[in-house]
C-alpha cells in the first residue's frame, strides 16, 4: 500500500537549493502550484508536524515527489548581494544570460558559489490518503 501526502494549499511543495559565497547567500528553486508526495511507509510525522514550518521530504521514510503541476522558478538573495550581481545571477538562474550558458548550479559554482545542498519541503495543511496503485503523473 502507498500513502499520498497532499498539501491543501497551492504553492506548498517547494524544491530549494542554497548557495553561499563569503557573506552572501542565494536561495533558489521551484515552487509547484500543485503537487504531492508518495511513500510506502505510513506517515507518522503528523503528531509533531507544524504547518507553518513544514517538513523536509527526506525526513519522511521512502518519500518522493509523485505529482507536480505548474512549477515556477524563484530566486532570493541576501541583502549583501548588490543589485548588479543580483541581476546577473537572476539571468543565469532563469536561463536568460547572454554571457553564461548551462545549468545554473554549475555556473554558480564556476563563479565561486558553494552549493550548500538541495532539499524539497512540503508545508501547510496536509491530507494523507491511502492508495493502492501508483497515482498517475500530471500531464
- Answer whether residue 7 is part of any domain: yes
* Cross-strand bridge partners of residue 122: 13, 55
- Answer whether residue 136 is part of any domain: no
| Range(s) of the domain holding residue 117 | 2-131
Name, in order, each residue with C-beta under 8 angstroms of 138's C-beta and a sequence gap of 6 or more: 34, 67, 68, 69
- Answer whether residue 137 is part of any domain: no
- Answer whether residue 138 is part of any domain: no
- Answer whether residue 88 is part of any domain: yes
- Answer whether residue 18 is part of any domain: yes
- Answer whether residue 16 is part of any domain: yes
10-residue stretch averages of pLDDT, the chain, 139 residues long: 93 96 97 94 92 94 90 97 97 94 94 95 94 58
Tally of CB atoms within 10 A around 53: 8
Q: What is the pTM of this model?
A: 0.81
Count of the separate structural domains present in the chain: 1
- Answer whether residue 95 is part of any domain: yes
**pLDDT value for 134:** 55
Give the residue carrying C-alpha cell 490518503.
129
Amino acid at each position: 500500500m502507498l500513502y499520498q501526502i497532499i498539501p491543501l494549499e497551492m504553492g506548498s511543495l517547494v524544491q530549494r537549493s542554497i548557495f553561499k559565497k563569503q557573506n552572501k547567500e542565494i536561495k533558489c528553486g521551484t515552487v509547484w502550484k500543485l503537487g504531492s508526495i508518495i511513500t510506502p511507509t505510513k506517515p507518522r510525522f503528523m503528531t509533531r508536524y507544524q504547518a507553518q514550518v513544514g517538513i523536509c521530504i527526506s525526513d519522511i521514510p521512502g518519500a518522493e515527489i509523485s505529482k507536480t503541476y505548474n512549477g515556477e522558478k524563484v530566486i532570493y538573495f541576501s541583502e549583501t548581494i548588490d543589485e548588479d550581481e543580483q541581476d546577473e545571477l537572476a539571468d543565469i538562474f532563469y536561463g536568460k544570460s547572454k554571457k553564461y550558458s548551462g545549468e545554473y548550479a554549475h555556473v554558480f559554482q564556476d563563479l565561486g558559489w558553494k552549493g550548500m545542498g538541495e532539499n524539497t519541503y512540503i508545508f501547510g495543511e496536509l491530507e494523507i490518503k491511502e492508495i493502492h496503485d501508483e497515482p498517475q503523473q500530471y500531464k
